Each structure stands twice: as structure tokens, then as C-alpha cells.
Amino acid sequence: MSPRAIRARPAVRPGKFQMPRARGCTFVIFGATGDLTERKLMPALFRLARERCLGGEFRVLGLSRGEMSDGTFRSKMREAVSENVRQFDAGLWDRFAERLHYMSADLKDEGAYRELARRLEELGVGEAAAGNHLFYLAVPPTLAPDIVRGLAGAKLTEEGKGFTRIVVEKPFGRDLESARRLNEEISRFFRESQVYRIDHYLGKETVQNILAFRFGNTMFEPIWNRNYVDHVQITAAETIGVGDRAGFYDGTGALRDMIANHLLQLLTLTAMEPPIAYDSMREAKVQVLRSMPVMGQALVERRTVRGQYGPGVVEGKEVRGYREEEGVEVGSNTETYAAVELRVENWRWAGVPFYVRAGKRLGRDLTEIAVIFKPTPHTLFQATDDRVPPNVIVIRLKPDEGIDATFSAKIPGQGMRTSRVLLEFDYEEAFGVELPDAYRTLLLDAMEGDATLFTRADEVEAQWRVISPILEAWSGQEPPPFPNYAAGSQGPEAAARLTARNGHAWRDIVAASEHEIKDARRQAVP
């Protein structure tokens, strides 16, 4: 039976929150003409300008190999921002564009960094002239060592009157050993307090609200443990294929691309102990990762599943299989789906399975954390045909951000018949505001010097400590007969067996969600 929905609203409508105004700085983007800059970084910076978070002394200097003038670079960025920002303001763009500058550079050439130092001195005004520099590495991770060595050679890693910080994009290494090498290379030239390893999932409002939901409500925290929670499911399902990322993705796969960083971050926030303060959250997350036992080959075979999509139908359109995608190697065994049963062996969570799955070309776009509680042991309902379903709390990240909770209520009339009731909270609807883009939040934090929502060096290595043994075991095993799931489906059949061994079942990602059922019901009411 479909759940009956109850809407949740804030008790008091909050006023408009004024985001802080960042100190003046020169924001240097390595990889300034790439996809990340065009789709995420430049739109986020433009939104910060619209919110009046950037001082007049803020400058952007983009670096890439191609030759172009400042004017051409500005025109290229205008096109990208207008396509990725709602309510694009042409007048505001003209004022913002005056801050944008460009420099052609070979990032492996030491001379490019001497020229960069000269340009920074030329562009610096006010606070920026004092040496406030934020270097953003929007480049493949293989270039990171060259960049940090080049900056050091030009004496651009040193801090004087102003700050010098570096933002490093994922993937941060390919396994534990490569992550350690990269950490060591960066630490030769930058202190840990200068390094901001970015995972955009941590900038999402819903992800941050996990803390408020868990630790700001006494009704939830006492039951957030193995005594009441049966299991946890964390899902990141996408309808899209690899698109133009085939060159990167074919050597990466779903486990590295999604689970090793994004979904492990969601798991740590769900499972961590209450931090003593907001700025100690990173230590609480690391403790969760350290509590996760390393899987040997036998456990990897039992607790992991990998898949690769074949041809199928997605959103009513026929799509080709992964091996037919442009840029994918013939007969590739790269996984486009991964599911892992993880355990957190501490006092709070011992014995509770955490099922984590990520996949491309699945039946629906969906990212969520579902906490499934133990079923009621009471015998009151045994005389009826109804099986009382367990309570579930769902934290929704995509397609719409919010929190749902289900509980049982008696249906009016004779007899003890129950129905599920859905208590749902939608962020934009409840607060009447457009949620901040994750990159907007994180870029402002980096300029402000707040590293709370960034990943620490030991945290990165702790993540790979969990994931690397799975990669090593898979490399020594015969891969499944790929493709092993049709595009538009739930994923490989083996994933259902993974949860069934413990008497559990995945939440359906193909059928309409409870939130969509609720919306359809509202539209049907005259």
C-alpha cells in the first residue's frame, strides 16, 4: 500500500541568511578551460559574486595550454555560466568578467611558474597584493606533483602577510599506496593546514544536515545504534552512462569513482560518534573508517558485487551497452556498478550491515541514505493479515533534497489494520529558498580558511585502506561475465543475493519513490 504523506514545515520561517564576505585573493585555476571549471567552478564563483560574497579585490587567473586573450576567455566563461546558472544577469556578468584573466601555460615547464609569479604580482591589489593566493587543481591527478613542485620552485607555496592555499580535486590517488605518495609529495611543500582536498558531496546542504538531524534531535540519537537499527543502505544510482568521460572512467570504475570517496563520506557521517565541536567533525569521521575491518579475499567474494551495463531502455529510449560506448576499450572489464557490504566494528554499530551501491545506466536517478530499523516484536498485529513494515528514515540527496520518515498508523474502522504514513520534509519547499550549490559553499569555505568540509590526509588514506583490498582481490579474480545487467534495470542479479544472505532486500530504485507517489497524489486531488 502506498504511504499516506504528511508534510513537515519549519516551526519558524527563517530570515534570509547572509553568507560571509571572503577576503580578497587571487583565485588561480589550473585547467581553466576544462569541463569542471565551466560546469562547476565558474558558475559557483558567479553565484558568490551575486550573493556579494566576493570583495572588490577578488581576481581569477585561469591557466591552460591553449593560447587565448583575456577577452576570449571571458566570452568562453560567459557561455558556460549562462548555461549553468538560473536567472543569469548579464549586467552582473559584465562587472564580474572584469575580474577574469587568462594565461597560457605548460604545467610541466618550470618557466611557466616564474611567469605565474609575475602575473600574480601584477594582478594583486589590496589584500590580494599581500599574497592571498588560492590555487585550484582542476586537472588530472597525475599533474598534481608537477604543479606543487612548480609552485615551490617559484616560491609560491610560502606564506607571508597573506595566505596561500591549494585545493586538490578527487580522485586523490588510485589506491592506498598512490594516495600516500601524493600526500607525501604535497606535504613536502605545503603544510596540512594549507591543503584542501575537496569532495563536493560534503558541500551539499542535505549532507551537512545529517549532523543537525542526528545530534540536534534527542528523539533520534538514542535509537541510532545496533540496538534499534537493522541495517543501512546508501545508494547512488544514475541513469546516464559514461558520456564524454570514457577515457577517465574506463581506467577507474564505479568503486574508485563513487564508493571510495563520496559514499564512504556519507557512511562516516551516518555512523560517526557525536563530535565535541563542529570543527572536530573530521576526527570523528576518521574514527569510523578506522573501525572498519579490512576484508580478505574470502570476504571480498562474499560481500562485494560488480557489474557492467549492457544495452537496454532508459527513460523510454534505447541505449547501447558500456562496451559500445565511444572511447571504451574493446572487451573492457571495468565495472559500472559496485555494491559492497561494509561493517563498522565498534560499540555503536557492531553487527549492523552497511550496504553501499553505485551504478550507471540504472532505472532512475537516486542518491539517498536509508536507515532501516528493526521490525516491531509485538504480537498485537498477528491476528490480522497485515505485516507491519519497519520504520525507515531516508535522507534524500537526489533528485530532490530532504528527509522522509515512515511509521505505522491504524486505518479508521473496525479491526486492527495499519497503513504506512510518510512524514516528509523537502528543503526548498519548507524554507522557500534555492539550496546553495555545493561548490559555492566549499569555495567560500576555502577562501575563508575553514577546512571542516574538506578531507584530511589521514582520512584519505583511511578510505583507501578499506577500498584497496577489494581492488586487489578483484584484480586476482576472474571478472563476472560482462555485461551482467541491462541498462534501465536495478543492476546485476548478484546484488540482490548480496543482501538476501542477511535476510534483507535493496530498496527499489526503478519503481516510483515514495516522494514521487506523494507528488502524484497531490496533483490528483482537485
Which residues have a catalytic role annotated? 262
Q: Which residues of 67-88 are buried (b: 16+ CB within 10 A; e: fewer)?
A: ebeeeebbebbbebbeebbeee
195-198 and 402-410 as β-strands: parallel, antiparallel, unpaired?
unpaired
Helix (H, G, I), strand (E, B) or coil at 403: strand
What are the beta bridge partners of residue 231? 372
Contact 282, 195 (CB under 8 A): no
Residue 358 backbone phi and psi in degrees, to 5: -145, 140
- Label residue 101 exposed, middle or buried (CB < 10 Å: 0-12, 13-18, 19+): buried
Distances (CA, A) of 314 to 7, 20, 116, 125, 361: 31, 42, 47, 52, 7
Please classify residue 167 by burial: count the beta carbons closer than 10 Å to its beta carbon, then call 0-12 exposed, 13-18 middle and 19+ buried.
Answer: buried
User: Which residues share a beta bridge with 134?
Assistant: 27, 165
Rg (CA), the chain: 24
Query: Residue 384: what residue type?
Result: T
Q: How far is CA 5 from the centre of its chain?
A: 28
The residue whose grid cell reads 574506463 is 250
Residues facing residue 60 across a β-bridge: 27, 100
Angle at which helices 70-84 and 90-97 cross, to 10°: 140
Q: CA-CA distance, 417 to 205, in Å (whole number)? A: 38
Query: Is the Cβ–Cβ distance between 458 and 284 less than 8 Å?
Result: no
Reduced to 3 states (helix: H, G, I; strand: E, B; else coil), residue 526 is coil
Cell of 355: 550496504
Q: What distance lies between CA 160 and its chain's CA centroid?
A: 34
487 CA to centre of own chain: 23
* Lookup: cell for 97: 568578467
